[in-house]
Amino acid sequence: MLLQRVITALVLLAILLPALFASNPMWFALLTLVMIAAAGWEWSRLNGKPGAPALAFGAALAAACAATFYVVGFQVPAWCWWLAGGLWVLGGVRALAVGVAGWPRLSPALRLLLGAVLLWAAWLALVVARQRGINFLLSAMCLVWMADVAAYFAGKTFGRRKLAPAISPGKSWEGAIGGLVGVIVLGVVWVHVIDLRLPVDSPSMYTVLVQRLGLVSLLALVFLSAMSVVGDLFESLVKRAAGAKDSSQLLPGHGGVLDRVDALLPVLPLALALTSL
């Protein structure tokens, strides 16, 4: 299993890195459009519409993303990010409140629509963040990865109180706090070391937040870290409601696309919303 995970990770990096660092950001947009179509296919399957309907849903989602980008390009109004962020805060928290048993009681059409909107917003945020700069995009993505890695080690070491035992038994409050501490440390390092001493192509998300919000930027990091947990738990809830361990087997050893991007889905739009203040 470990060898399989490593091979899959290396193949993904070999595909993603050239697109990410290409001078034309459209290559990255096109590659991630394929990924968001795959995520849409997975979402449909998890919500009771497998087979041909799932393929159609993924294709329609990709077409909607491409059409939106054709109309607005990289100039997405800030209110779109706030709208997507508000949907995550209200809808995500509400979904976690109703729990695994309550999710299937929502109509399939509503669940599909919700997934389409959230994935659509995440893809737009991804390509707009790339347009702002590779450093900006990586700083936002690394927030999620740091929150996850630090939470894992803090939970393993100190975890006692379960965060959401019915949804994700492995998560603890101590792990979540450890993830937050890791994010704050990462932000300090990025602002004072990476952005100042390395030849980056743009200010990071952390530097932009500090410039615009001052000390309030710490609260912004707390919020983003918490929302990364909400994204992770939300996808776990949907999988449990569907009786699935992974969103798919598209990425051998890693599960599916949704398994890899779940925590990024709320963080990317919210990062753009907060940096628009």
Give the tens place of pLDDT for each residue, 111-151. 999 999 999 999 999 999 999 999 999 999 999 999 999 99
Q: How far is the C-alpha of 262 from the C-alpha of 39, rounded, in Å?
A: 10
Give the tens place of pLDDT for each residue, 80-108. 999 999 999 998 888 888 888 889 998 89
Q: What is the mean pLDDT of residues 253-263?
A: 90
Give the tens place of pLDDT for each residue, 189-202. 999 999 999 999 99
Number of neighbours of residue 75 by Cβ within 10 angstroms: 8
Question: Any alpha helices (H) in the chain, and if so which ranges?
Answer: 2-21, 26-46, 52-72, 78-87, 93-102, 108-132, 134-158, 173-189, 195-197, 205-213, 216-242, 257-261, 264-274
Q: Collapsing DSSP states into helix, strand and coil, what is residue 38?
A: helix
User: What is the value of pTM for the model shown?
Assistant: 0.94
Question: What confidence category does residue 52 fall into, taking pLDDT thresholds of 50, 70 and 90?
Answer: very high
